[in-house]
Amino acid sequence: MALNMFGLDLQIDHEKCTRCGICVRACPVGVLTLVENNDEK
């Protein structure tokens, strides 16, 4: 799983991220967003 939550602290493992958006919905303060990364090769 790419998302680990410890109280209000979210840790995201970017290597496991599938861009599903669960972290955005789980963020307790609503500050996370998904953005396009055009630098990927």
Note the pLDDT of residue 3: 77
Euclidean distance between CA atoms 3 and 38, whole angstroms: 23
19: DSSP letter: -
- pLDDT at position 40: 57
The token duo for 23 is 């972290």
Count structural domains, the chain: 1
Position 39 scores a pLDDT of 67
- For 41, the domain range is 1-41
Encoded amino acid at 4, one letter: N
In whole angstroms, what separates CA 6 from the centre of its chain? Answer: 14
Question: What are 1-41's pLDDT values in tens digits?
Answer: 787 878 778 788 889 989 898 888 888 788 888 887 766 55
